[in-house]
Amino acid sequence: MLKFSGWRYDCFRPPKQPARAMHPASFRPSLRSVIAALLPVAACYAQWLCWPVIRPLIWFFFYPVVFFSSWLGGPGAGLTATVLATGLAWWFFMNPVHVLAKPSPVLYLNAGLFLVMGGLFTLFHERLRRATRRAAEAEAAAARRAADAELREQGELLDRMSRLAKVGGWAFDVATLKGSWSDEVARIHDLDPSIQPDARSAIGFYLEEDRPVIAEAVRKAIEEACPYDLELRLVSARGVTKWVHTIGRPILQDGRVVRVQGALQDITDRMRIERDLRDSELRHRATLEQRVAERTTELQAANGDLESFAYAVSHDLRAPLRAMGGFSQALLDDYGAVLAPEGREYLDHIITSSHRMGGLIDGILHLSRATRGELARVPVDLSALAEAVLADLAGSEPERHVRTQVQPGIRAQGDPRLLEAVVGNLVGNAWKYTSRTADASIQMDAVQEDGKRWVRIRDNGCGFDMAFADKLFKPFQRLHRQDEFPGLGIGLATVHRIVRRHGGEIKAVSAPGRGACFYLSLPMPETAEAS
């Protein structure tokens, strides 16, 4: 290609690839030489056309043409063009024209000068060309050295990285099973990097139990082009067992696997850390479980103690009380006649007190039962329970007139016996604390508030002062005097415990003389309510 760009000799750039030498384009330099050698003909024709104008400048076109030819075509073409130009000028432009007869001596001198100049041009260009070529070669060599250095540096970097990550690459040829591997792969095998393996011997390094796995994976990679990714153990040349992560990728050519290449990483450290971690986790869990078991045992023991205590209370505290009341009664029956009225009154006090203490014991038992034992979880109809309690109360005190209103179908999920105690206590309280109200009324309904369903039990009885509300659910705490409303102070404490055990909530709103309203949230039955 004739490409002129400044003073550069593109055609003499060193060929980048030797293969190009066989290309048809390689004939170009000789073609260029021919063209260059024949350029004086074109110059001669051009001068012929312009002759009337430039006459008598015989060499007008031939000097530049010879200069150009020697630049374009090299020394041979330059010299040929010089001789040819001399001949053409002699023949066509020297007087007398078209004859080889001797012209004037001046013309000889001119022709001789032209020949010398042509030779000089050729020499000049040849030297320039050589200098350019040397410079280009030097430049190319420098570039090659730089590239080599960079390659070496990258190789070293890769090697350092390989060592650090303990990972290397390998490949083998399917036809010959001959392979190659990177230094790090050799190091993982504790082999000298100069030893290049074949696929069979490489598989032989794997631990005997793992060998069938890798052999099968390699077979599938070759025959079915299946890649693999395995974590296996190998035994190095020094007999060290190592965990390795091996990845294999089949390389296909024309639908056949020709090579398998992959990577191998030493993951012994990782596996050890993982195993240590797993072991410590197992140990930790075992300790934790043991601790939980111990605590559970302790808790069960404590619960057992509590139960036997409650049982003892129920059984052993009652007998002396019964004796106190019973013998007082016997005294009254047998010797009442010989006692002064005051003495009989004292005995009455003993009897009443023993009854009251019996009630307290029963209350404590109820309270303790509310927190003991298995909690049943079945649907319970609270409305029906409330109706039953109200019917009982009305039966026991037929002289009272209380307006009652119970919304039907209020249900909860829980223990029937305990929920009966809850409803019994709350409705019983409403009944008790409305005993001094003229137009007594008790209502039970369900409302939705704060995203929860609340069961409300309302009365218009004497109520209580909210300032003492914190005492409401504590055992043996009462907000009314015994002579106003008798009671033990255990009912609401029991209710509170039962509701809490069910995962529910209880709260109360009241004001003295304005009635009380108890809010109860309990788990809803799982099945949709029938009504």
Residues at the interface with other proteins (CB under 8 A): 311, 314-316, 318-323, 325-330, 351, 354-355, 357-358, 361-362, 365
Is the Cβ of residue 159 or residue 307 nearer to other proteins in the bound state?
307
Sheet-wide strand order for 516-521: 403-406, 441-449, 452-459, 516-521, 505-510
Taking the complex as a whole, how short is the minimal distance between the CB of residue 373 and other proteins, in angstroms?
Answer: 9
Taking the complex as a whole, how short is the minimal distance between the CB of residue 312 and other proteins, in angstroms?
Answer: 9
Cβ neighbours of residue 51 closer than 8 Å, sequence gap 6 or more = 93
Type of residue at 508: A
Q: Report the alpha-carbon angle 78-80-84, nearest 5.
A: 115
- In 460-523 the beta strands, taken as DSSP E runs, fall at 505-510, 516-521
In 3D space, the residue among 250, 262, 245, 270 whose CA is nearest the CA of residue 188 turns out to be 245
Question: d(Cα 245, Cα 302) in Å, to the nearest integer?
Answer: 55
Question: d(Cα 89, Cα 58) in Å, to the nearest integer?
Answer: 7
Question: d(Cα 17, Cα 23) in Å, to the nearest integer?
Answer: 11
Is the Cβ of residue 213 or residue 350 nearer to other proteins in the bound state?
350
Q: 465-473: list long-range contacts, CB under 8 Å, 24+ apart.
A: 465/510, 465/511, 465/512, 466/509, 466/510, 466/511, 469/508, 469/510, 472/508, 473/506
Classified as helix, coil or strand, 397 is coil
| Tokens coding 41 | 């003909």
Taking the complex as a whole, how short is the minimal distance between the CB of residue 328 and other proteins, in angstroms?
Answer: 8
Q: What share of the chain is helix, strand, coil (3-state, %, to 5)?
A: 60, 15, 25
Question: d(Cα 262, Cα 188) in Å, to the nearest integer?
Answer: 15
| Tokens coding 60 | 């007008």
- Which ranges of 20-176 does DSSP label H, i.e. alpha helix? 28-54, 62-93, 105-165
User: Does residue 56 have a cis peptide bond before it, meaning omega lies within 30 degrees of 0?
Assistant: yes
CB 264 within 8 A of CB 233: no
CB 159 within 8 A of CB 183: yes
Taking the complex as a whole, how short is the minimal distance between the CB of residue 368 and other proteins, in angstroms?
Answer: 11
Is the Cβ of residue 247 or residue 360 nearer to other proteins in the bound state?
360
Taking the complex as a whole, how short is the minimal distance between the CB of residue 329 and other proteins, in angstroms?
Answer: 4
Is the Cβ of residue 57 or residue 313 nearer to other proteins in the bound state?
313
In 3D space, the residue among 349, 347, 325, 326 whose CA is nearest the CA of residue 338 turns out to be 347
Taking the complex as a whole, how short is the minimal distance between the CB of residue 367 and other proteins, in angstroms?
Answer: 14
Question: d(Cα 170, Cα 198) in Å, to the nearest integer?
Answer: 10
Taking the complex as a whole, how short is the minimal distance between the CB of residue 371 and other proteins, in angstroms?
Answer: 15
Question: d(Cα 50, Cα 89) in Å, to the nearest integer?
Answer: 14
Taking the complex as a whole, how short is the minimal distance between the CB of residue 475 and other proteins, in angstroms?
Answer: 19
Question: d(Cα 229, Cα 248) in Å, to the nearest integer?
Answer: 7
Is the Cβ of residue 171 or residue 321 nearer to other proteins in the bound state?
321
Is the Cβ of residue 276 or residue 305 nearer to other proteins in the bound state?
305
Taking the complex as a whole, how short is the minimal distance between the CB of residue 332 and other proteins, in angstroms?
Answer: 10
Taking the complex as a whole, how short is the minimal distance between the CB of residue 397 and other proteins, in angstroms?
Answer: 20
Is the Cβ of residue 265 or residue 354 nearer to other proteins in the bound state?
354
Is the Cβ of residue 169 or residue 358 nearer to other proteins in the bound state?
358
Taking the complex as a whole, how short is the minimal distance between the CB of residue 355 and other proteins, in angstroms?
Answer: 6
Is the Cβ of residue 80 or residue 425 nearer to other proteins in the bound state?
425
Is the Cβ of residue 271 or residue 332 nearer to other proteins in the bound state?
332
Is the Cβ of residue 45 or residue 311 nearer to other proteins in the bound state?
311
